[in-house]
Amino acid sequence: MDYRIEHDSMGEVRVPADRLWAAQTQRSHENFRIGEGIETMPSEIIHAFGILKKAAALANAALRPEKMTAEKLSAVSSACDEVISGELNAHFPLVVWQTGSGTQSNMNANEVIANRGNAIAGSKLLHPNDDVNMSQSSNDTFPTAMHISAVLIMTDRLIPAVKGLIDTFLELERMHEGIVKSGRTHLQDATPIKFSQEISGWRASLERDVELLERAVEPLCELALGGTAVGTGLNAPKGFDELVAKEVSRITGKNFVTAKNKFHALTSKDELVFAHGAIKALGCDMMKIANDVRWLASGPRLGLGEITIPENEPGSSIMPGKVNPTQCEAVTMVAVQVMGNDVAVGMAASQGNFELNVFMPVCSYNFLQSARLLSEAIESFNSNCAVGIRANKAKMEENLHRSLMLVTALNPYIGYENAAKTAKKAFKDGISLKEACVQLGFLSEERFDEVFHPEEMV
Protein backbone atom coordinates (compact mmCIF):
# COMPACT_ATOMS: atom_id res chain seq x y z
CA MET A 1 0.00 0.00 0.00
CA ASP A 2 1.20 3.49 -0.84
CA TYR A 3 1.22 6.17 1.84
CA ARG A 4 1.53 9.91 2.06
CA ILE A 5 2.69 12.03 4.99
CA GLU A 6 0.15 14.23 6.79
CA HIS A 7 0.76 16.29 9.89
CA ASP A 8 -1.17 17.79 12.79
CA SER A 9 -0.21 19.58 15.99
CA MET A 10 1.39 16.39 17.32
CA GLY A 11 3.61 15.75 14.31
CA GLU A 12 3.68 13.67 11.14
CA VAL A 13 1.53 10.60 10.39
CA ARG A 14 1.46 8.13 7.49
CA VAL A 15 -1.93 7.97 5.79
CA PRO A 16 -3.02 5.61 2.97
CA ALA A 17 -2.45 7.52 -0.25
CA ASP A 18 -5.90 6.74 -1.66
CA ARG A 19 -7.80 8.07 1.37
CA LEU A 20 -9.04 11.61 1.91
CA TRP A 21 -8.63 11.67 5.66
CA ALA A 22 -5.54 13.11 7.33
CA ALA A 23 -3.49 12.91 10.51
CA GLN A 24 -6.11 13.15 13.27
CA THR A 25 -8.37 10.60 11.64
CA GLN A 26 -5.44 8.24 11.15
CA ARG A 27 -4.43 8.52 14.80
CA SER A 28 -7.94 7.61 15.91
CA HIS A 29 -8.08 4.79 13.35
CA GLU A 30 -4.92 3.31 14.83
CA ASN A 31 -5.68 3.97 18.50
CA PHE A 32 -9.27 2.67 18.67
CA ARG A 33 -9.41 -0.76 17.08
CA ILE A 34 -12.65 -1.59 18.87
CA GLY A 35 -15.49 -3.03 16.83
CA GLU A 36 -13.53 -2.16 13.70
CA GLY A 37 -15.37 -2.73 10.44
CA ILE A 38 -18.64 -3.42 12.24
CA GLU A 39 -19.43 -0.63 14.67
CA THR A 40 -18.25 2.34 12.67
CA MET A 41 -19.85 5.75 12.96
CA PRO A 42 -23.37 5.49 11.45
CA SER A 43 -23.72 6.77 7.89
CA GLU A 44 -26.56 9.01 9.08
CA ILE A 45 -24.09 10.89 11.31
CA ILE A 46 -21.60 11.22 8.45
CA HIS A 47 -24.26 12.65 6.15
CA ALA A 48 -25.42 15.01 8.91
CA PHE A 49 -21.86 16.28 9.20
CA GLY A 50 -21.93 17.03 5.47
CA ILE A 51 -25.12 19.03 5.98
CA LEU A 52 -23.90 21.01 8.97
CA LYS A 53 -20.45 21.73 7.47
CA LYS A 54 -22.05 23.10 4.33
CA ALA A 55 -24.49 25.17 6.38
CA ALA A 56 -21.61 26.50 8.52
CA ALA A 57 -19.63 27.47 5.42
CA LEU A 58 -22.64 29.33 4.01
CA ALA A 59 -23.17 31.15 7.31
CA ASN A 60 -19.47 32.01 7.55
CA ALA A 61 -19.50 33.31 3.98
CA ALA A 62 -22.30 35.67 4.92
CA LEU A 63 -20.78 36.79 8.23
CA ARG A 64 -17.05 36.46 7.54
CA PRO A 65 -16.61 36.87 3.79
CA GLU A 66 -12.99 37.89 4.23
CA LYS A 67 -12.26 34.46 5.73
CA MET A 68 -14.79 32.21 3.95
CA THR A 69 -14.24 33.55 0.44
CA ALA A 70 -16.41 32.63 -2.52
CA GLU A 71 -13.69 30.28 -3.77
CA LYS A 72 -13.44 28.49 -0.44
CA LEU A 73 -17.23 28.31 -0.11
CA SER A 74 -17.52 26.68 -3.51
CA ALA A 75 -14.92 24.05 -2.68
CA VAL A 76 -16.39 23.28 0.75
CA SER A 77 -19.95 23.12 -0.61
CA SER A 78 -19.01 20.76 -3.42
CA ALA A 79 -17.15 18.44 -1.07
CA CYS A 80 -20.03 18.53 1.42
CA ASP A 81 -22.50 17.59 -1.30
CA GLU A 82 -20.45 14.46 -1.93
CA VAL A 83 -20.47 13.65 1.78
CA ILE A 84 -24.23 14.15 1.93
CA SER A 85 -24.81 11.91 -1.09
CA GLY A 86 -22.77 9.09 0.43
CA GLU A 87 -20.09 9.15 -2.26
CA LEU A 88 -17.34 9.56 0.34
CA ASN A 89 -18.54 7.04 2.94
CA ALA A 90 -15.41 4.93 2.47
CA HIS A 91 -13.34 7.83 3.80
CA PHE A 92 -15.01 7.74 7.22
CA PRO A 93 -13.46 4.69 8.93
CA LEU A 94 -13.75 5.63 12.59
CA VAL A 95 -15.54 3.46 15.12
CA VAL A 96 -18.19 4.46 17.63
CA TRP A 97 -15.87 3.53 20.48
CA GLN A 98 -13.67 6.63 20.42
CA THR A 99 -13.64 9.88 22.32
CA GLY A 100 -17.02 10.47 23.96
CA SER A 101 -17.35 13.93 22.44
CA GLY A 102 -17.06 12.63 18.87
CA THR A 103 -14.10 14.99 18.30
CA GLN A 104 -12.30 12.54 16.06
CA SER A 105 -15.34 12.10 13.81
CA ASN A 106 -15.68 15.88 13.57
CA MET A 107 -12.05 16.06 12.50
CA ASN A 108 -12.59 13.17 10.11
CA ALA A 109 -15.26 15.29 8.42
CA ASN A 110 -13.06 18.38 8.47
CA GLU A 111 -10.12 16.54 6.92
CA VAL A 112 -12.11 14.72 4.24
CA ILE A 113 -13.96 17.89 3.21
CA ALA A 114 -10.74 19.92 3.18
CA ASN A 115 -8.82 17.39 1.10
CA ARG A 116 -11.68 16.75 -1.29
CA GLY A 117 -12.32 20.50 -1.58
CA ASN A 118 -8.66 21.06 -2.36
CA ALA A 119 -8.80 18.41 -5.06
CA ILE A 120 -11.86 20.10 -6.55
CA ALA A 121 -10.20 23.53 -6.39
CA GLY A 122 -6.91 22.20 -7.72
CA SER A 123 -4.90 23.93 -4.99
CA LYS A 124 -4.11 23.82 -1.26
CA LEU A 125 -7.01 26.14 -0.55
CA LEU A 126 -8.66 24.70 2.57
CA HIS A 127 -7.38 23.91 6.05
CA PRO A 128 -9.51 21.42 8.04
CA ASN A 129 -9.50 23.47 11.26
CA ASP A 130 -9.27 27.05 10.03
CA ASP A 131 -11.74 26.75 7.17
CA VAL A 132 -13.99 23.69 7.40
CA ASN A 133 -14.28 23.93 11.19
CA MET A 134 -14.57 27.73 11.20
CA SER A 135 -16.85 29.09 13.98
CA GLN A 136 -17.35 25.54 15.30
CA SER A 137 -16.16 23.07 17.90
CA SER A 138 -16.54 19.30 18.05
CA ASN A 139 -18.57 19.96 21.18
CA ASP A 140 -21.34 21.69 19.25
CA THR A 141 -21.02 19.95 15.89
CA PHE A 142 -21.44 16.39 17.14
CA PRO A 143 -24.67 17.08 19.09
CA THR A 144 -25.89 18.98 16.04
CA ALA A 145 -25.16 15.97 13.83
CA MET A 146 -27.01 13.80 16.35
CA HIS A 147 -30.14 15.93 16.12
CA ILE A 148 -30.05 16.31 12.34
CA SER A 149 -29.61 12.57 11.81
CA ALA A 150 -32.36 11.76 14.33
CA VAL A 151 -34.86 14.13 12.72
CA LEU A 152 -34.12 12.87 9.21
CA ILE A 153 -34.35 9.17 10.03
CA MET A 154 -37.56 9.65 12.00
CA THR A 155 -39.34 11.84 9.47
CA ASP A 156 -38.02 10.34 6.24
CA ARG A 157 -37.86 6.64 7.15
CA LEU A 158 -39.50 5.57 10.39
CA ILE A 159 -42.75 7.52 10.33
CA PRO A 160 -43.43 6.74 6.62
CA ALA A 161 -42.80 3.02 7.32
CA VAL A 162 -45.38 3.07 10.13
CA LYS A 163 -47.89 4.94 7.98
CA GLY A 164 -47.48 2.32 5.27
CA LEU A 165 -48.46 -0.43 7.73
CA ILE A 166 -51.37 1.68 8.95
CA ASP A 167 -52.67 1.85 5.37
CA THR A 168 -52.39 -1.94 5.09
CA PHE A 169 -54.39 -2.42 8.29
CA LEU A 170 -57.07 -0.02 7.05
CA GLU A 171 -57.44 -2.15 3.92
CA LEU A 172 -57.54 -5.35 5.99
CA GLU A 173 -60.29 -3.83 8.16
CA ARG A 174 -62.35 -3.06 5.05
CA MET A 175 -61.69 -6.51 3.62
CA HIS A 176 -62.76 -8.37 6.77
CA GLU A 177 -65.69 -6.23 7.89
CA GLY A 178 -68.56 -8.29 9.32
CA ILE A 179 -66.54 -11.38 10.27
CA VAL A 180 -67.19 -12.21 13.94
CA LYS A 181 -64.72 -14.25 15.99
CA SER A 182 -63.94 -15.06 19.58
CA GLY A 183 -62.13 -12.42 21.55
CA ARG A 184 -59.38 -13.43 23.95
CA THR A 185 -58.11 -11.95 27.20
CA HIS A 186 -55.41 -13.51 29.43
CA LEU A 187 -54.93 -15.99 26.54
CA GLN A 188 -58.39 -17.33 27.48
CA ASP A 189 -61.68 -17.26 25.59
CA ALA A 190 -63.56 -13.98 25.88
CA THR A 191 -66.66 -12.40 24.37
CA PRO A 192 -66.96 -12.03 20.58
CA ILE A 193 -65.31 -9.36 18.52
CA LYS A 194 -65.27 -8.48 14.83
CA PHE A 195 -62.01 -9.34 13.15
CA SER A 196 -62.04 -5.81 11.71
CA GLN A 197 -62.28 -4.46 15.26
CA GLU A 198 -59.27 -6.52 16.30
CA ILE A 199 -57.28 -5.15 13.37
CA SER A 200 -58.44 -1.63 14.22
CA GLY A 201 -56.74 -2.02 17.59
CA TRP A 202 -53.44 -2.68 15.82
CA ARG A 203 -53.99 0.25 13.51
CA ALA A 204 -54.95 2.69 16.27
CA SER A 205 -51.86 1.72 18.27
CA LEU A 206 -49.66 2.63 15.33
CA GLU A 207 -51.54 5.87 14.74
CA ARG A 208 -50.87 6.87 18.33
CA ASP A 209 -47.20 5.90 17.88
CA VAL A 210 -46.98 8.24 14.89
CA GLU A 211 -48.42 11.04 17.04
CA LEU A 212 -45.81 10.39 19.72
CA LEU A 213 -42.97 10.24 17.19
CA GLU A 214 -44.06 13.51 15.60
CA ARG A 215 -44.23 15.20 19.01
CA ALA A 216 -40.74 13.91 19.78
CA VAL A 217 -39.28 15.34 16.56
CA GLU A 218 -39.95 18.97 17.48
CA PRO A 219 -37.43 19.25 20.37
CA LEU A 220 -34.82 17.51 18.19
CA CYS A 221 -35.07 20.38 15.72
CA GLU A 222 -33.11 22.59 18.13
CA LEU A 223 -29.42 22.69 17.21
CA ALA A 224 -26.38 23.19 19.41
CA LEU A 225 -24.31 24.69 16.59
CA GLY A 226 -23.03 28.11 17.62
CA GLY A 227 -22.26 27.11 21.19
CA THR A 228 -18.68 26.08 20.23
CA ALA A 229 -16.55 24.63 23.07
CA VAL A 230 -18.59 25.14 26.25
CA GLY A 231 -21.76 26.89 25.12
CA THR A 232 -20.49 30.48 25.20
CA GLY A 233 -20.12 30.73 21.42
CA LEU A 234 -16.43 31.66 21.62
CA ASN A 235 -14.91 32.36 18.14
CA ALA A 236 -18.31 32.27 16.43
CA PRO A 237 -19.57 35.55 14.94
CA LYS A 238 -22.76 37.12 16.23
CA GLY A 239 -25.80 35.66 14.53
CA PHE A 240 -23.92 32.56 13.34
CA ASP A 241 -26.16 30.18 15.33
CA GLU A 242 -29.41 31.49 13.87
CA LEU A 243 -28.08 31.73 10.33
CA VAL A 244 -26.59 28.25 10.35
CA ALA A 245 -29.89 26.78 11.59
CA LYS A 246 -31.66 28.49 8.68
CA GLU A 247 -29.15 27.01 6.25
CA VAL A 248 -29.57 23.52 7.72
CA SER A 249 -33.34 23.97 7.31
CA ARG A 250 -32.93 25.03 3.70
CA ILE A 251 -30.65 22.09 2.86
CA THR A 252 -32.82 19.47 4.56
CA GLY A 253 -36.28 20.88 4.02
CA LYS A 254 -36.94 20.53 7.78
CA ASN A 255 -37.67 23.28 10.29
CA PHE A 256 -34.49 23.49 12.39
CA VAL A 257 -33.86 26.32 14.84
CA THR A 258 -30.97 27.28 17.07
CA ALA A 259 -31.13 26.03 20.65
CA LYS A 260 -32.15 28.76 23.07
CA ASN A 261 -29.64 27.63 25.69
CA LYS A 262 -26.38 26.27 24.28
CA PHE A 263 -25.15 25.15 27.71
CA HIS A 264 -28.09 22.77 27.83
CA ALA A 265 -27.65 21.77 24.19
CA LEU A 266 -24.04 20.66 24.71
CA THR A 267 -24.44 18.68 27.90
CA SER A 268 -28.00 17.32 27.93
CA LYS A 269 -29.37 14.60 25.67
CA ASP A 270 -32.89 14.68 27.06
CA GLU A 271 -34.45 15.27 23.63
CA LEU A 272 -32.90 12.05 22.33
CA VAL A 273 -34.05 10.12 25.41
CA PHE A 274 -37.58 11.44 24.92
CA ALA A 275 -37.58 10.60 21.21
CA HIS A 276 -36.16 7.14 21.79
CA GLY A 277 -38.94 6.59 24.32
CA ALA A 278 -41.41 7.13 21.47
CA ILE A 279 -39.40 4.72 19.32
CA LYS A 280 -39.47 2.17 22.14
CA ALA A 281 -43.25 2.61 22.44
CA LEU A 282 -43.52 1.77 18.75
CA GLY A 283 -41.28 -1.25 19.31
CA CYS A 284 -43.56 -2.42 22.13
CA ASP A 285 -46.65 -2.12 19.92
CA MET A 286 -44.92 -3.93 17.06
CA MET A 287 -43.98 -6.73 19.49
CA LYS A 288 -47.65 -7.06 20.47
CA ILE A 289 -48.95 -6.95 16.90
CA ALA A 290 -46.42 -9.48 15.63
CA ASN A 291 -47.23 -11.81 18.52
CA ASP A 292 -50.97 -11.49 17.83
CA VAL A 293 -50.43 -12.34 14.18
CA ARG A 294 -48.33 -15.43 14.86
CA TRP A 295 -50.72 -16.65 17.56
CA LEU A 296 -53.72 -16.23 15.24
CA ALA A 297 -51.83 -18.02 12.45
CA SER A 298 -50.55 -20.79 14.72
CA GLY A 299 -51.09 -24.37 13.66
CA PRO A 300 -52.08 -24.72 10.92
CA ARG A 301 -54.17 -27.53 12.43
CA LEU A 302 -53.20 -27.73 16.09
CA GLY A 303 -53.09 -24.03 16.91
CA LEU A 304 -55.65 -21.24 16.64
CA GLY A 305 -55.48 -21.23 12.85
CA GLU A 306 -57.84 -18.27 12.56
CA ILE A 307 -55.79 -16.46 9.93
CA THR A 308 -53.41 -17.41 7.16
CA ILE A 309 -50.24 -15.46 6.40
CA PRO A 310 -47.93 -15.61 3.38
CA GLU A 311 -45.66 -18.65 3.12
CA ASN A 312 -42.28 -17.11 2.33
CA GLU A 313 -39.74 -19.88 2.87
CA PRO A 314 -39.46 -23.45 4.20
CA GLY A 315 -39.55 -23.52 8.00
CA SER A 316 -37.55 -26.60 8.81
CA SER A 317 -34.53 -28.52 7.61
CA ILE A 318 -36.08 -31.79 8.84
CA MET A 319 -39.87 -31.37 8.86
CA PRO A 320 -41.16 -31.24 5.26
CA GLY A 321 -43.90 -28.73 4.53
CA LYS A 322 -43.39 -26.75 7.71
CA VAL A 323 -43.77 -22.97 7.35
CA ASN A 324 -43.00 -20.54 10.17
CA PRO A 325 -44.11 -16.94 10.95
CA THR A 326 -40.63 -15.64 10.24
CA GLN A 327 -41.56 -12.02 9.60
CA CYS A 328 -43.22 -11.90 13.02
CA GLU A 329 -40.10 -13.36 14.59
CA ALA A 330 -37.89 -10.76 12.94
CA VAL A 331 -40.12 -7.95 14.23
CA THR A 332 -40.06 -9.29 17.78
CA MET A 333 -36.28 -9.64 17.77
CA VAL A 334 -35.93 -6.06 16.55
CA ALA A 335 -38.30 -4.94 19.30
CA VAL A 336 -36.08 -6.63 21.88
CA GLN A 337 -33.03 -4.84 20.45
CA VAL A 338 -34.85 -1.50 20.59
CA MET A 339 -35.75 -2.07 24.24
CA GLY A 340 -32.12 -2.85 25.02
CA ASN A 341 -30.98 0.22 23.10
CA ASP A 342 -33.32 2.34 25.19
CA VAL A 343 -31.31 1.44 28.28
CA ALA A 344 -28.07 2.40 26.52
CA VAL A 345 -29.49 5.72 25.30
CA GLY A 346 -30.76 6.58 28.77
CA MET A 347 -27.52 5.62 30.50
CA ALA A 348 -25.45 7.59 27.98
CA ALA A 349 -27.64 10.66 28.40
CA SER A 350 -27.23 10.52 32.17
CA GLN A 351 -23.46 10.96 31.89
CA GLY A 352 -23.23 14.68 31.19
CA ASN A 353 -20.50 16.23 33.34
CA PHE A 354 -20.27 19.99 33.68
CA GLU A 355 -20.34 21.52 30.17
CA LEU A 356 -20.33 18.38 27.99
CA ASN A 357 -21.79 14.92 27.60
CA VAL A 358 -19.03 12.47 26.70
CA PHE A 359 -21.17 9.47 25.75
CA MET A 360 -22.50 10.97 22.53
CA PRO A 361 -21.28 8.42 19.95
CA VAL A 362 -22.80 5.44 21.78
CA CYS A 363 -26.02 7.39 22.42
CA SER A 364 -26.40 8.23 18.75
CA TYR A 365 -25.33 4.77 17.58
CA ASN A 366 -28.07 3.07 19.57
CA PHE A 367 -30.70 5.68 18.71
CA LEU A 368 -30.07 5.42 14.99
CA GLN A 369 -29.88 1.63 15.09
CA SER A 370 -33.30 1.50 16.74
CA ALA A 371 -34.88 3.82 14.18
CA ARG A 372 -33.19 2.06 11.26
CA LEU A 373 -34.02 -1.48 12.40
CA LEU A 374 -37.64 -0.63 13.17
CA SER A 375 -38.08 1.11 9.82
CA GLU A 376 -36.73 -1.87 7.93
CA ALA A 377 -38.54 -4.46 10.07
CA ILE A 378 -41.89 -2.68 9.67
CA GLU A 379 -41.42 -2.36 5.91
CA SER A 380 -40.49 -6.04 5.66
CA PHE A 381 -43.38 -7.16 7.88
CA ASN A 382 -45.78 -5.04 5.86
CA SER A 383 -44.75 -6.23 2.41
CA ASN A 384 -43.99 -9.87 3.29
CA CYS A 385 -46.68 -10.62 5.85
CA ALA A 386 -49.33 -8.03 6.73
CA VAL A 387 -50.59 -7.46 3.19
CA GLY A 388 -51.29 -11.19 2.90
CA ILE A 389 -53.22 -11.68 6.15
CA ARG A 390 -56.53 -13.42 5.45
CA ALA A 391 -59.24 -14.61 7.81
CA ASN A 392 -59.97 -18.33 8.04
CA LYS A 393 -63.72 -17.76 8.31
CA ALA A 394 -64.63 -21.37 8.96
CA LYS A 395 -62.17 -21.69 11.83
CA MET A 396 -63.23 -18.36 13.31
CA GLU A 397 -66.88 -19.42 13.24
CA GLU A 398 -66.08 -22.81 14.75
CA ASN A 399 -64.07 -21.28 17.58
CA LEU A 400 -66.70 -18.62 18.15
CA HIS A 401 -69.51 -21.11 18.69
CA ARG A 402 -67.34 -23.35 20.88
CA SER A 403 -66.44 -20.46 23.19
CA LEU A 404 -67.84 -20.82 26.67
CA MET A 405 -67.68 -17.06 27.16
CA LEU A 406 -70.70 -16.65 24.93
CA VAL A 407 -72.53 -17.44 28.15
CA THR A 408 -71.99 -13.75 29.02
CA ALA A 409 -75.00 -13.01 26.79
CA LEU A 410 -77.17 -14.92 29.27
CA ASN A 411 -76.24 -12.75 32.28
CA PRO A 412 -79.27 -10.41 31.91
CA TYR A 413 -81.64 -13.41 31.75
CA ILE A 414 -80.31 -15.95 34.27
CA GLY A 415 -77.80 -13.91 36.32
CA TYR A 416 -74.03 -14.12 36.68
CA GLU A 417 -73.90 -17.11 39.04
CA ASN A 418 -76.29 -19.25 36.99
CA ALA A 419 -74.40 -18.31 33.84
CA ALA A 420 -71.16 -19.44 35.50
CA LYS A 421 -72.79 -22.77 36.44
CA THR A 422 -73.91 -23.15 32.83
CA ALA A 423 -70.41 -22.58 31.48
CA LYS A 424 -68.79 -24.96 33.97
CA LYS A 425 -71.30 -27.74 33.27
CA ALA A 426 -70.86 -27.32 29.51
CA PHE A 427 -67.08 -27.58 29.89
CA LYS A 428 -67.15 -30.50 32.34
CA ASP A 429 -69.68 -32.56 30.38
CA GLY A 430 -68.44 -31.60 26.92
CA ILE A 431 -71.82 -30.30 25.84
CA SER A 432 -73.08 -27.03 24.36
CA LEU A 433 -74.08 -24.01 26.40
CA LYS A 434 -77.64 -24.50 25.24
CA GLU A 435 -77.72 -28.08 26.45
CA ALA A 436 -76.20 -27.12 29.79
CA CYS A 437 -78.57 -24.20 30.32
CA VAL A 438 -81.64 -26.29 29.51
CA GLN A 439 -80.49 -29.24 31.63
CA LEU A 440 -79.95 -26.92 34.58
CA GLY A 441 -83.45 -25.59 34.09
CA PHE A 442 -82.46 -21.96 33.66
CA LEU A 443 -84.10 -21.46 30.23
CA SER A 444 -86.22 -23.43 27.82
CA GLU A 445 -84.81 -24.31 24.40
CA GLU A 446 -87.13 -21.76 22.79
CA ARG A 447 -86.17 -18.95 25.18
CA PHE A 448 -82.49 -19.77 24.81
CA ASP A 449 -82.69 -19.48 21.02
CA GLU A 450 -84.61 -16.23 21.43
CA VAL A 451 -81.96 -14.47 23.54
CA PHE A 452 -78.71 -16.15 22.45
CA HIS A 453 -77.17 -14.41 19.39
CA PRO A 454 -73.33 -14.37 19.45
CA GLU A 455 -73.09 -12.26 16.30
CA GLU A 456 -74.93 -9.42 18.06
CA MET A 457 -72.49 -9.36 20.99
CA VAL A 458 -69.92 -7.23 19.15
pLDDT digits (tens, 9 = 90+) for 86-132: 999 999 999 999 999 999 999 999 999 999 999 999 999 999 999 99
Residues 354 and 439 in one domain: no
Which band of pLDDT confidence, cut at 50, 70 and 90, is reported for residue 162? Answer: very high
Sequential DSSP letters for 374-420: HHHHHHHHHHHTGGG-EE-HHHHHHHHHH-GGGGGGGHHHH-HHHHH
Count of structural domains, the chain: 3
Q: Is 436 among the domain residues?
A: yes
Same domain, 361 and 444: no
Residue 239 falls inside a structural domain? no
SS3 441: coil
Q: Is residue 184 domain-shared with residue 308, that is, in the same domain?
A: yes
Tell me the per-residue pLDDT of 376-433, one tens digit each, with 9 for 90 and over: 999 999 999 999 999 999 999 999 999 999 999 999 999 999 999 999 999 999 999 9
Please indicate, yes or no, whether residues 85 and 102 belong to a single structural domain of this protein. yes
CATH at 206: 1.20.200.10
- The CA distance from 135 to 232, in Å, is 12
The answer to whether position 255 is within a domain reads: no
**Do 43 and 93 contact (CB within 8 A), yes or no?**
no
Residue 245, in any domain of the structure: no
Secondary element (H or E) of residue 242: helix 240-252
The Cα 253–Cα 251 span in angstroms is 6
Are residue 129 and residue 107 in the same domain, yes or no?
yes
Among the options 316, 350, 401, 444, which is catalytic?
316
Last residue in a domain, options 360, 394, 428? 394
Residue 247 forms part of a structural domain:
no
| CATH number of the domain that residue 95 is part of | 1.10.275.10
If asked whether residues 81 and 185 sit together in one domain, one would say no
Residue 197, C-beta contacts closer than 8 angstroms, at least 6 positions apart? 458
Say whether both 193 and 66 belong to one domain. no
Contact present, 137 and 100 (Cβ < 8 Å): no
How many C-beta neighbours within 10 Å does residue 239 have? Answer: 13
What CATH number does residue 430 fall under? Answer: 1.10.40.30
- Does one domain contain both 25 and 128? yes
Query: Does residue 52 contact residue 225 with C-beta atoms inside 8 Å?
Result: yes
Whether 176 is catalytic = no
Whether 1 shows a pLDDT value over 90: the answer reads no
pLDDT (tens digit per residue) in 108-117: 999 999 999 9
Q: What is the pTM of this model?
A: 0.96
- Residue 185 in any domain: the answer is yes
Boundary-marking domain end, from 375, 394, 413: 394
Contact 266, 223 (CB under 8 A): no
Do 413 and 354 belong together in one domain? no
- Specify the length of the chain in residues: 458
Residue at 28 is within a domain = yes
Q: Is residue 44 situated within a structural domain? A: yes
Query: Across the chain, what does the average pLDDT equal?
Result: 97
Residue range of the domain that includes 128: 3-134
Same domain flag for 180 and 162: yes
Strand segments, DSSP code E, in 152-278 are 180-185, 188-194, 222-223, 257-258
Residues 176 and 193 reside in one and the same domain: yes
Q: Of 345, 360, 394, which residue constitutes the final position of a domain?
A: 394
103 and 27 within one domain? yes
Confidence of residue 352 (pLDDT cuts 50, 70, 90): confident
Q: What's residue 36's pLDDT?
A: 84
Question: Is pLDDT at 454 greater than 90 in this prediction?
Answer: no
Would you call 78 a catalytic residue per the annotation?
Answer: no
